[in-house]
Amino acid sequence: MAVGVKVRVWGDYALFSRPELKVERYSYDVMTPSAARGILEAIYWHPGMKWVIDKIYVKNPIKFTSVRRNEVKSKISRSNVLAAYNGADKPLYISSKEEIVQRASMILTNVEYVIEAHFEMTEKSNATDNPGKFKDIMMRRLRRGECYHMPYFGCREFPANFALCEEEEVKTVYDNVPEKDLGLMLYDMDYTDTENISPMFFRAVLKQGVLDLRNCEVIR
């Protein structure tokens, strides 16, 4: 059984990084389905359910700005972490003086979307779990502004405000634009094989400001 909900999200900045441009980061034109799923999971997640994104409505004009940010160029070594856990004397830090770099990012500004999604029950649900229970919890959190952790637009530096969308018919800023081809876009990551996690893509087409994901063809 699938149960649907509409969530309004907005914020000052967003960065949905294109994987082919992830060093000098460049954002997709609109929110990706995986980012939308991440926002909903930040508000409410349970192992007995999974979110499926149906539509993303673009409420504000697509605008970019360029910023430069301080970042580090490496990560703490996984082998060092395992060795330290087993008692070896290995460094578990990164020297920002040696590793810091300035990188440019092309980010979105003044973003607002409506996420239309539904959730489905999974095999990890137990006897006390049911769709009505999960929907009540989600609706209560949306109305109170509660979340599991703060949702964000692609990067944790760009927090996302959220609220329940109660519009019957959602209007977009591109209602008068019949179609806008956004090219290939990241759909989500395929976690079927945890040893070989791979990206999935789809051809994103914005129709009157709406990204309809219900019957899109996913490319692996």
**pLDDT in the model for residue 3:** 66
Confidence of residue 149 (pLDDT cuts 50, 70, 90): very high
The more confidently predicted of residues 43 and 194 is 43
pLDDT digits (tens, 9 = 90+) for 107-147: 999 999 999 999 988 888 888 888 888 999 999 999 999 99
54-68, 74-88, 166-180: the lowest-pLDDT one: 74-88
The answer to whether the beta carbons of residues 8 and 162 sit under 8 Å apart is: yes
Is pLDDT larger for residue 59 or for residue 131? 59
Average pLDDT on 208-215 reads: 94
> Minimal CA–CA distance to 115: which of 1, 8, 29?
8
Tokens linked to 147 = 């979340």
Q: Residue 124 CA to chain centroid, in angstroms?
A: 23
Q: Are strands 64-72 and 100-121 parallel, antiparallel or unpaired?
A: antiparallel
95-107 average pLDDT score? 84
pLDDT at 55 over 50: yes
Contact, 55 vs 174, CB < 8 A? no
User: Is the Cβ–Cβ distance between 14 and 153 less than 8 Å?
Assistant: yes
Q: Tell me: the pLDDT tens digits for 172-183?
A: 999 999 999 999
- Helix (H) or strand (E) run with residue 212 in it: strand 210-212
- Average pLDDT for residues 68-90, to the nearest whole number? 81
Scanning 92-190, the segments in alpha helix (DSSP H) are 96-99, 131-144
Check if the beta carbon of residue 18 is closer than 8 Å to that of residue 26. Answer: yes
Model-level pTM?
Answer: 0.87
pLDDT value for 165: 94
pLDDT of 2 over the 70 cut: no
Phi, psi of 102 (to 5 degrees): -100, 130
**From start to end of 1-96, where are the E strands?**
2-14, 49-58, 64-72
In this predicted structure, the answer to whether residue 7 has a pLDDT above a threshold of 90 is yes
Q: Which of the four pLDDT bands, split at 50, 70 and 90, describes residue 1?
A: very low
Q: What is the pLDDT of residue 124?
A: 85
Alpha-carbon span 38 to 180, nearest angstrom: 25
For residues 165 and 87, which has the higher predicted lDDT (pLDDT)? 165
Q: How far apart are CA 140 and CA 133, in angstroms?
A: 11
Number of Cβ within 10 Å of residue 22's Cβ equals 9
Ordered by where they begin, the domains of the chain are 2-68+106-219 (3.30.70.2660)
Q: Using pLDDT thresholds of 50, 70 and 90, give the confidence band for residue 82.
A: confident
